[in-house]
Amino acid sequence: MRTRASAAAAGALVVALVAAGCGTDPRETAADPTSSGESSAGSGESTPGDSAPDRQGSSATAAADPEHAVSPPGPRTGRLYPDDMLVFSRKALSDDMVQQIKDLKGVDATMRFSMSQVPLEDKVYNIAAIDPGRYRNWTEQASADTQEVWDRVAGGELAIDPAIGRKLADKQGYLRLGNEKEAPQIHIGAFAPQVDQITAVVNPTWADSLGMIENNAMLITTGNTAPETIRPKIRKIVGDTASVLFLAPELDITAQQTAFLTGGSVAQAVGTFNYTVLGGGRIQPDQAWVEANIRTEDVPILGQVTCHKAVLPQLRAALQEIQMTGLSDEIRPEEYAGCYYPRFIAGSTSLSLHSFGIALDLNTSTNQRGVAGDMDRQVVAIFKKWGFAWGGDWNYTDPMHFEMNAVVEAR
pLDDT of 188 > 90? The answer is: yes
Instruction: Band the pLDDT of 90: cuts 50, 70, 90.
Output: confident
* pLDDT on residue 23: 35
Q: How many CB atoms lie within 10 A of CB 162?
A: 17
CA neighbor of 161 nearest in space, from 113, 197, 121: 197
Give the up-direction half-sphere exposure of residue 343: CA atoms within 13 A in the CB hemisphere: 14
pLDDT > 90: percent of the chain:
56
* pLDDT on residue 119: 87
How far is the C-alpha of 204 from the C-alpha of 44, rounded, in Å? 13
How far is the C-alpha of 192 from the C-alpha of 150, rounded, in Å? 10
* pLDDT on residue 46: 34
Q: Which residue has the higher pLDDT, 362 or 224?
A: 362
Give per-residue pLDDT as tens, 111-141: 999 999 888 888 889 999 999 999 999 999 9
Q: Which residue has the higher pLDDT, 322 or 46?
A: 322
How far is the C-alpha of 41 from the C-alpha of 44, rounded, in Å? 6
* pLDDT on residue 396: 84
* pLDDT on residue 177: 87
Least confident of 86-100, 267-281, 328-342: 267-281
Instruction: Band the pLDDT of 58: cuts 50, 70, 90.
Output: very low
* pLDDT on residue 60: 54
* pLDDT on residue 314: 96
State residue 165 phi and psi, 5-degree precision.
-65, -45
How far is the C-alpha of 362 from the C-alpha of 108, rounded, in Å? 51
Instruction: Band the pLDDT of 254: cuts 50, 70, 90.
Output: low
CA of residue 391 relative to chain centroid, distance: 18
* pLDDT on residue 181: 78
Instruction: Band the pLDDT of 302: cuts 50, 70, 90.
Output: very high
Q: Partners of 26 in the beta sheet?
A: none
Q: Which residue has the higher pLDDT, 198 or 27?
A: 198
* pLDDT on residue 39: 36
Q: Are 89 and 126 in contact (CB under 8 A)?
A: no
pLDDT of 320 > 50? The answer is: yes
Q: Which residue has the higher pLDDT, 385 or 272?
A: 385
For range 294-308, the mean pLDDT: 96
* pLDDT on residue 123: 87
Query: Where in the chain are the domains?
Result: 20-51+58-259, 265-404
* pLDDT on residue 1: 42
Integer distance in angstroms from the first to the last C-alpha of the chain? 58
pLDDT of 284 > 70? The answer is: yes
How far is the C-alpha of 381 from the C-alpha of 331, rounded, in Å? 14
How far is the C-alpha of 180 from the C-alpha of 263, rounded, in Å? 7
- What residue ranges in 255-330 does DSSP mark as E strands? 257-259, 273-277, 283-285, 294-299, 303-308
Q: Are 159 and 192 in contact (CB under 8 A)?
A: yes
* pLDDT on residue 42: 31
pLDDT of 360 > 70? The answer is: yes
Strands 123-129 and 200-202: parallel
CA-to-CA separations, 11 to 140, 160, 233, 249, 330, in angstroms, rounded: 11, 19, 39, 21, 55
CA-to-CA separations, 2 to 79, 81, 144, 222, in angstroms, rounded: 15, 10, 17, 11
Max CA pair span of the chain:
68
* pLDDT on residue 251: 58
CA neighbor of 241 nearest in space, from 87, 353, 86, 107: 87
Least confident of 37-41, 167-171, 242-246: 37-41
Contacts of 219 by beta carbon, 8 Å cutoff, 6+ apart: 81, 83, 85, 86, 110, 111, 113, 138, 195
Q: Which residue has the higher pLDDT, 237 or 352?
A: 237
* pLDDT on residue 253: 56
| Domain topology for 265-404 | Muramoyl-pentapeptide Carboxypeptidase; domain 2 (3.30.1380)
For range 363-389, the mean pLDDT: 94
pLDDT > 70: percent of the chain:
82
Mean pLDDT of the chain: 83
Contacts of 363 by beta carbon, 8 Å cutoff, 6+ apart: 331, 332, 335, 373, 374, 375, 400
Give per-residue pLDDT as tens, 65-88: 889 999 999 999 999 999 899 999
* pLDDT on residue 144: 95
